[in-house]
Structure 1
Amino acid sequence: MGLPTGLTTRPARADDAGPICRLIAACEEDLDGQVEIDLDDVVADLGRPGLDLVTDTVLVHERDELVGWAQIFRGRRAEADVRPDRRGRGIGTWLLDWTERRAGEVGADRVGQTITDHNVVAARMFGSRGYEPRDTAWILEIPLAPGQPVAPPPAGITIRGYRRGSDDRAAHRVIDDAFCEWPDRQPCPFEEWAALTIGRETFAPRLSAIALDGDRIVGAALALDSGGDDGFVHQLAVHRDYRHRGIARALLHQAFVGFARVGRRSCTLSTNSYTGALSLYERVGMRIRRSYTHYAKRPGRP
């Protein structure tokens, strides 16, 4: 299926981050009534070492207006958005075709997208194309206030702030080793991880926390702070030998206290059903703010 007459396409460039962010924000506002995306998210995504902007992204313009876009990372995880007032013209179908074609070109064994559960039209389209729901993702939040309680770490564990440079490699190892326990998760090279975390403009080392057993880093909570009402715990992980001892809880409370101290009204984070961590976040007082479903299929399957 081709695009309607008058629409043009090209790959994204780094300086397209602003228009892409505004497009995603318009879709979030329309579907969810609240914007989660910020410019730093898009800049980090487009700057990933593993993403080739020429082959892995596409923008759809009507005259000079961005009306749709898509990206696909390593042929497997795709994202696509169509401006709300341009839906119903076949742009979303064309973008889905494009992501499937690109997945086939790189030989991916699966291709999928994660969409808000409010996007029932996209869910029906995925179902009609052979996609199946694979897992659920959530954004959780907790309100913050001055005097936020602290949860002490277990005996033998100390918690301190993140130190740029000296903590980078060890924090990456703890986080990536933990995340690679998830189904189908591939290791994330340090350079790619750094671009998405500690290299971001919004990375806040003073609000991030490290758990240590002696001099060994055994847990980390990495914080992003864009200066709005929400603080965000971007990544949280504890070494498998140190779990179920209250370290993750202590790291979270350290982040909550830090965000409250700088005036944030709430703290948010995202998690996925395959991590098994939802109950932990609910036990520390977090509640689901938004729910998403990941749909996937094998490329070429009707």
Structure 2
Amino acid sequence: MNLLWRPMVDSDIPGWAVLLAAAERVDQQGEHYSEADLREEWADPDIDPERDSIAVLDGSTLVAYAILDKRVTPEGKYRLPSQSVVHPDWRGRGIGAQLVQWITERAGELHRENRPDLPGEVSISCGERNSALRELLDSAGFVPQRWFFELKRSTEPDPDVADQALPEGLRLIPYDARYDEALRLAHNEAFLDHWGTTQVDPEGWKHWHTGDSWFRPAVSYLVLDGEEVAGYLLSKEFEADAAATGIREVWYTAIGVRRAWRGNRLASALLLRALADSRDAGFTRAALSVDADNPTGALGIYQRCGFRLDARQSVHARVLSVTD
């Protein structure tokens, strides 16, 4: 194979969209991307495209790629999550194994260059239907470390789910941009004990949470105790999914309750309000993702609110040492 391996560049984005669409037809992970979606992802301030991405091309056709991210977690670990996809027509030719090798070697370089003082770990996610990738990761020394569940339900009322009132003194309001910085800080506190999360800075908060084109403030909410943010729910809509499936689906992408207010069923109250308003806004289905081992018991909360398992994804990790 006479393939070109080089860093990804802006002009690869149209081919990236074509590649992901072809992969989705086979892998069926329920993920669809427009070129506009990918341009927004590509603007991630934490990614250095020249050094932390690789494109594999047959002439001018993108047949595979990989991207590495990097973050320091609250427990003091240097984590390098990655994404990589090989076009279905090019699978079985060793490209996937070479991508995993590139990811591992580049992750080792980043660990040595940036935070050799911290334990290092590189990770790759795998959809439950992708058995070939799981076998490849096993052979490359990656160990299954975490499972994430995608849960879904109709936005129509569920007779088995009771309404949830807030404790006295708390009020639930629609998202208000005046609280955005307080919300960012509340999010950082709420997710401090969640696996693999990092403290989100103002730039990252705007890019990935309340400033991107997918954010839907009309079906996002805050729970306030006086003027303090006690809990919140943020919603997004991925229009490329609706275009592909014909289903208008709302994703509840961030649901958090600060420690001092846990145990008051704020998450349930937020979800039930969001479901009712999402239905009125024209969404027919709601979805969210949860760490199966979430320490706050989130999985049980979501199930009690009528959400049911739709898909699973595993995260496979490999420990890095400064000699890698």
TM-score (norm 1): 0.91
Report the more deviating stretch, 246-255 or 8-17. Answer: 8-17
Question: 1:172 matched to which residue of 2?
Answer: 184
Question: 2:309 matched to which residue of 1?
Answer: 288
Q: In 2, distance between residues paired with 1:255 and 1:226?
A: 17
Q: In 1, distance between residues paired with 2:221 and 2:5?
A: 43
Report the more deviating stretch, 116-125 or 100-109. Answer: 100-109
Question: 1:80 matched to which residue of 2?
Answer: 84
Deviation at 1:147, TM superposition (A): 9.5
Query: After TM superposition, which residue ranges in structure 1, 4 or more long, deviate above 4 angstroms?
Result: 146-150
The 5 Å alignment of 1:12-161 reads 12-14=8-10, 16-32=12-28, 35-39=30-34, 42-74=38-70, 76-107=80-111, 109-145=120-156, 151-161=164-174
Report the more deviating stretch, 229-238 or 7-16. Answer: 7-16
Whether the aligned pair in 1 keeps the contact of 2:4 and 2:57 (CA below 8 Å) is yes
In structure 2, relative to structure 1, the CA distance for the partners of 1:14 and 1:120 (3 Å cut) is same
Question: 1:163 matched to which residue of 2?
Answer: 176
In structure 2, relative to structure 1, the CA distance for the partners of 1:92 and 1:188 (3 Å cut) is same
Whether the aligned pair in 2 keeps the contact of 1:77 and 1:113 (CA below 8 Å) is yes
**1:278 aligned to 2:289?**
no
SS at match of 2:293: helix
Q: In 2, distance between residues paired with 1:16 and 1:151?
A: 48
TM-score (norm 2): 0.85
Q: Note the aligned Cα RMSD (angstroms).
A: 2.2
Amino acid at match of 2:108: G
In structure 2, relative to structure 1, the CA distance for the partners of 1:17 and 1:270 (3 Å cut) is farther
In structure 2, relative to structure 1, the CA distance for the partners of 1:275 and 1:230 (3 Å cut) is same
Matched pairs, number: 296
Amino acid at match of 1:134: Q
In structure 2, relative to structure 1, the CA distance for the partners of 1:16 and 1:201 (3 Å cut) is farther
Percent sequence identity over aligned pairs = 26
Q: In 1, distance between residues paired with 2:38 and 2:164?
A: 34
Amino acid at match of 1:234: T
1:17-39 CA-partner distances (Å, limit 9, x unpaired):
4432332233233122x532333
Deviation at 1:150, TM superposition (A): 5.3
Q: What runs of 5+ residues in structure 2 fail to find an aligned partner?
A: 71-78, 113-119, 243-247
In structure 2, relative to structure 1, the CA distance for the partners of 1:154 and 1:15 (3 Å cut) is farther
Q: In 2, distance between residues paired with 1:270 and 1:280?
A: 13
Q: In 1, distance between residues paired with 2:150 and 2:39?
A: 20
Amino acid at match of 2:169: G
Report the more deviating stretch, 11-20 or 68-77. Answer: 11-20
Q: What runs of 5+ residues in structure 1 fail to find an aligned partner?
A: none
Deviation at 1:42, TM superposition (A): 3.2
Whether the aligned pair in 2 keeps the contact of 1:76 and 1:111 (CA below 8 Å) is yes
Question: 2:255 matched to which residue of 1?
Answer: 236
Deviation at 1:8, TM superposition (A): 1.2
